[in-house]
Amino acid sequence: MLRLLRGLVKRGDSPKLMAPEQSPLFRMALAEGLPVRRLTTLGLPQLARQVDLVHAHDAHAHTMAALFPRGPLVVARRVAFPIGHGLLSREKYRRATHYVAVSNYVAAMLAGGGVPLEKIEVVYDGVPLLPLTEGGRHVMCPASNDPRKGVRLVIEAGRLLRVQVFPSPNLERDLRDAAVFVYVTYAEGLGSATLLAMSAGVPVVASRVGGLPEAISNGEDGLLVENTSEAISEGIKRLLEDGEFAREVTAKARRKVELQFTEDRMVDRTRGVYGKLLGDV
């Protein structure tokens, strides 16, 4: 969301972000001088009257925006679980004008939940092109308390190899010191953390679930494995011990990010959705 907001401002648009006042998104946008205001139940309909289009980025925002329809409503769908089939859920999803799905996998889940295909557009996440890592030391994974993220499984795989795993709370900062990046999850829309590692030239081991196979081609620009400590440890071991293979993987991964997963591409494709709904294209 923050990357999209920056891109819209850069292109001369006039976006207005509403976010919970205590959220990291609000604080970061405020610190950068980006247009942000506190999200409230009363404030949303007031702001909706001042804009041409509303773009909701999570389930709570979707619910709020659906209660106060004011022009086109675009809903971002990033999560990899089915939509509900209850009466209220069906009505909520009916009210959205268009959906932006983070992957084809997520788009298929929307369609399976009854959303017409013509109302769905796939827009992949975009990430910055980070400086290429040289001489990284750590086996790294994202720090997370989410039970759907397999941090404990990654740590167990590290124990099998007798290597320490470093859970990072800030990937853009820490990837410069990573030798291998491991992303284990039980459900995933796409996996933007893996894209960051690919951008930084860090070889990736990731779960073969959800939309991750759209980000990683197994054996070409990363490794996809089953969610077992043995399979994960084998993937890590291969990338640590086979330097030539790891270099080939990272070069292809970086090239894939440059072609498919840049911030500019994400912003332009999202603006394309806006343009279609507003009659600009």
Q: What is the pLDDT of residues 101-157, one digit of tens each?
A: 999 999 999 999 899 999 999 999 999 999 999 888 999 999 998 888 999 999 999
CA 243 to chain centre: 29
One-letter amino acid of 141: C
Q: What is the pLDDT of residues 39-78, one digit of tens each?
A: 888 888 888 888 999 999 998 889 888 887 678 999 999 9
Cα(123)–Cα(33) distance, rounded to whole angstroms? Answer: 26
Give pTM, 2 decimals: 0.92
Q: How many CB atoms lie within 10 A of CB 194?
A: 30
Lowest mean pLDDT across 84-98, 158-172, 256-270? 84-98
CATH architecture of 2-126+262-278: 3-Layer(aba) Sandwich (3.40)
Cα(138)–Cα(177) distance, rounded to whole angstroms? Answer: 6
Same fold across 2-126+262-278 and 138-260: yes
Domain ranges of the chain: 2-126+262-278, 138-260
Whole-number pLDDT of residue 281: 45
Q: What is the pLDDT of residues 183-201, one digit of tens each?
A: 999 999 999 999 999 999 9
Q: How many CB atoms lie within 10 A of CB 15?
A: 17
Provide CATH code, domain 138-260.
3.40.50.2000
